[in-house]
Amino acid sequence: MAIPIALQLYSVREDCAKDFLGIIAQVAKMGYAGVEFAGYHGHSATDLRKCLDDNGLVAPSTHTPLSALADDQFGATVELHHTLGAEFVIVPWIPDDMHNSIEACKRTGELFTTFAEKLAPHGLKTGFHAHGGDMRELADGKSAYHHIASSTPSSFVMQYDTANGMSGGADPVQPILDWPGRGATVHLKEWSGEHGAKVIGEGNVPWKAVFDACESVAGTKWYIVEHESYEGMTPMQAVEKCLQNLRAMGK
């Protein structure tokens, strides 16, 4: 079966701030199968779930800050994900002091492992979204991304981002291959020497190799489009073009 394609709604954040439910409906009309949330623009999980259902969409995952997994917010975060039907709770960013050394990465991995263990009884999985800085070499020549993956269980999702990885000097495919079964969701973003400046299929990412890695090794359940620069298009036009180009590639 083909891997479904979702849109990271951060790609169209300014439009979402004006008419969140309307934008979700438009994303469905473009042909996306799902959305990944990165904030909720004042809407309740119940209202968002109704919007998803009304438009035939799924929310496989969210980008959720570390603070939402702290003890005082943990229960509410679990409830929100259950209401949305989202399986994956992905931490989108961590401060530099959590991944700027081997020791820091190990401590971060221990924290992520604790989150994974707490979420598992609730049927949820957590993970970490890659940025360029995670690809830098630490004292032993291995990346922060490598050390965080090494310090977390096999159920912990290493959500690779193709452009973020390349912007940090990583091979566009190898970080997917390095962690078999841990790419349940993968961010598809074009790289052309400038972050997100080209729509998918019009830059330097070797897409066939990325898809082969996701589909043969990573265990990918969802492709998630993220786009951050628009070159004469509106954000909505750009993300629609990304999907059209993926369809032309057989996705």
* 46-74 confidence digits (pLDDT tens): 999 999 999 999 999 999 999 999 999 99
Q: What is the mean pLDDT of residues 178-184?
A: 98
Fold for domain 5-248?
TIM Barrel (3.20.20)
pLDDT surpassing 90 at residue 44: yes
How far apart (Å, rounded) are the C-alpha atoms in residues 28 and 98? 37
- Choice among 21-25, 194-198, 207-211 with the minimum mean pLDDT: 194-198
The pLDDT of residue 193 is 84
How far apart (Å, rounded) are the C-alpha atoms in residues 109 and 81? 22
Q: What is the mean pLDDT of residues 135-150?
A: 97
**Cross-strand bridge partners of residue 166:** none
The number of angstroms, rounded, from the C-alpha of 247 to the middle of its chain's C-alpha atoms is: 20
Residues 227-240 have pLDDT tens digits of 988 878 999 999 99
User: Which residue is listed with tokens 């981002």?
Assistant: 161
Asked if residue 201 lies in contact with residue 163, where contact means CB atoms within 8 angstroms, the answer is no
The pLDDT of residue 197 is 74
Radius of gyration of the chain (CA): 17
> Taking CA 33 as the corner, what is the angle to CA 32 and CA 35, rounded to the nearest 5 degrees?
80
How far apart (Å, rounded) are the C-alpha atoms in residues 209 and 215? 10
What residues have CB less than 8 Å from 72, skipping those under 6 apart? none
In eight-state DSSP terms, residue 230 is -
Q: What is the mean pLDDT of residues 102-107?
A: 98
How far apart (Å, rounded) are the C-alpha atoms in residues 249 and 251? 6
Biggest CA–CA distance in the chain, Å, is 51
The pLDDT of residue 232 is 84
Asked if residue 6 lies in contact with residue 32, where contact means CB atoms within 8 angstroms, the answer is yes
The pLDDT of residue 1 is 77
The pLDDT of residue 195 is 63
| pLDDT, the chain, mean | 96
Asked if residue 204 lies in contact with residue 240, where contact means CB atoms within 8 angstroms, the answer is no
How far apart (Å, rounded) are the C-alpha atoms in residues 28 and 101? 42
How far apart (Å, rounded) are the C-alpha atoms in residues 89 and 69? 9
The number of angstroms, rounded, from the C-alpha of 78 to the middle of its chain's C-alpha atoms is: 18
Backbone φ and ψ of 232, nearest 5°: 85, -5
The pLDDT of residue 120 is 98
pLDDT surpassing 70 at residue 201: yes
% of the chain beyond a pLDDT of 90: 94
- From first CA to last CA, the distance across the chain in angstroms is 10
